[in-house]
Amino acid sequence: VTRPAADEVEARLRRHRAELIDEALRFPAVYREYQRYQGDYDLAALQRERMASLLAHAAARVPVYRGLAVDDPISTLARFPLVAKAELRANLADHCDDELDPAQCRAVFTTGTSGQPLRVLHDADHLAHTAALALRRAVRLGLPFDRKVLHPFHSNLDRWVEYTSAGSGFARVAEFGSTGDEAYWSEVVERIRGFRPDVVVGHPTACVRLAELLAGLDATAPVAVLTWGERLAPGMAERITTVLGAPVLDGYGLREVSTVAAQCASGAYHIEGERIWVEVVDDSGAAVPDGEVGELVVTNLVNRAMPLIRYRTGDLGSLAPAGQRCACGLPHRMLTLVEGRTPGSLVRPDGSRAPTIVLLRKLARLPVERYQVVQVARDEVRVIVKRLDGFTPEHQRSIVEDAVALLGAAVRVELDLDGGFVAHGGRKAVDFVSLLPEGDR
Ligand SMILES: [Zn+2]
């Protein structure tokens, strides 16, 4: 990993300052919602009210949902179609509010399983409610508004940077780059010890790296380490807690909807029910009983600019029964996450297994709108893509070469460049389908 060029870092910092001003201007709305959330309210009633209002809005003003009948919010929701990322990307404008005001929105970009990034618009309400609930989580941990936050290891920084984030309640934030020489790392360690963060926020791998950097040194323990964005393995949490002397609380979310659930002090993931409704479905898209594992499907109850309703996350998990309470006392429903996004294995002619994900990751880098790997037989694999501009014969050759490198020359690789995707159960967008007999997979 090389250090980012100084002019790229300057450009990034300039963009970041502009974002900080934008967030600061939104803070009055954040604080207003935060105060409302400090009051007493019935979560279930709030959810029904927000769901009813969202679905009525969608049916009236969002093209893909136009005219859908809306009555009881929960049974109405079940009649709305599931939405997969590829469909959303292909049909973006039809998922937006007819009377959208772009000046009030911010766009987030997600990459992921199919090459092209997806743009999702968040409106002012979404931004205010998301920030207000994040602030409430911080305050519940005993952190003040003007807390000190450390974001360790930024690959696009070449230095230590500090700033005040008015938009998150006037937090003092420090970040530092992830590459440098010995002198750089001694400086970073000294700065961390001087900064004395109240809270560390980052991907689990970055927090583990921070623990390695500070191991054996005497540094003040933060109140908590908040992780997000990657699976937090138990060994990682243990390592972080041992070195930094603070509990690790993980969050689960998607850029498309921001935080979905966050861990409480008892370790349970509580759904952020004020903003997010979660369902769990099987391969055919039907609801599974509470406690059973399936694909998590989320609805953003707040964002109107581009309502995400029954959006398929591709992640696996299960819902605790609605009435089940956590020891921490929160009324928010609990979610169990299961190692998700594991597409299963390809089987070679000799019966050995090959990780499909290796092939899928390579396909994800090609100029294709969507891709799918289908194992037809032990010695036959079909790769289906829907090409975008810029797809060349070299890309075509690379697909075959990558498949042969993974599976061996005895496997016949068939290519379909025009998107004749295979449906699997009721799921429209699965990246890997195995047609081998059940016992052979
Ligand atoms: Zn809890």
Cα(328) to centroid(ligand 1), Å? 4
Structure tokens of 218?
A: 């005497």
pLDDT for position 428? 45
Cα(338) to centroid(ligand 1), Å? 18
Q: β-strands 258-263, 248-254: how paired?
A: antiparallel
Comparing CA positions, the residue from 200, 330, 213 lying closest to residue 267 is: 330
Q: Which residue has the tokens 């209002």?
A: 53
Cβ count within 10 A of residue 144: 12
Cα(397) to centroid(ligand 1), Å? 52
pLDDT for position 317? 87
Cα(84) to centroid(ligand 1), Å? 30
pLDDT for position 316? 83
Contact between 36 and 50 (Cβ < 8 Å): no
Residues with a beta carbon under 5 angstroms from ion ligand 1: 264, 266, 268, 326, 328, 330
Cα–Cα distance measured from residue 281 to residue 268, given in angstroms and rounded to the nearest whole number: 21
Cα–Cα distance measured from residue 294 to residue 315, given in angstroms and rounded to the nearest whole number: 8
Cα(145) to centroid(ligand 1), Å? 22
Cα(262) to centroid(ligand 1), Å? 9
Contact between 131 and 26 (Cβ < 8 Å): yes
Structure tokens of 391?
A: 């797809």
Contact between 143 and 171 (Cβ < 8 Å): no
Cα(315) to centroid(ligand 1), Å? 21
Q: β-strands 160-165, 171-177: how paired?
A: antiparallel
pTM, two decimals, is 0.78
Comparing CA positions, the residue from 267, 289, 270, 271 lying closest to residue 280 is: 289
pLDDT for position 115? 54
Cα(269) to centroid(ligand 1), Å? 7
Cα–Cα distance measured from residue 364 to residue 343, given in angstroms and rounded to the nearest whole number: 14
pLDDT for position 109? 87
Distances (CA, A) of 240 to 36, 170, 203, 253, 336: 35, 26, 12, 21, 22
pLDDT for position 112? 54
List, in sequence order, every residue forming a beta bridge with 427; answer none if it has no partner: 424
pLDDT for position 343? 58
Q: β-strands 148-154, 171-177: how paired?
A: parallel
Cα(198) to centroid(ligand 1), Å? 22
Contact between 56 and 48 (Cβ < 8 Å): no
Cα(322) to centroid(ligand 1), Å? 14
Cα(335) to centroid(ligand 1), Å? 10
pLDDT for position 418? 87
User: Mean pLDDT per segment of 10 residues, for the chain of length 441 residues?
Assistant: 86 94 96 97 96 97 93 91 87 94 89 69 97 97 97 93 96 96 96 97 93 88 93 81 95 95 95 98 87 91 97 89 91 83 76 81 76 92 87 93 93 92 63 82 73
Cα–Cα distance measured from residue 224 to residue 301, given in angstroms and rounded to the nearest whole number: 29
Cα–Cα distance measured from residue 168 to residue 437, given in angstroms and rounded to the nearest whole number: 53
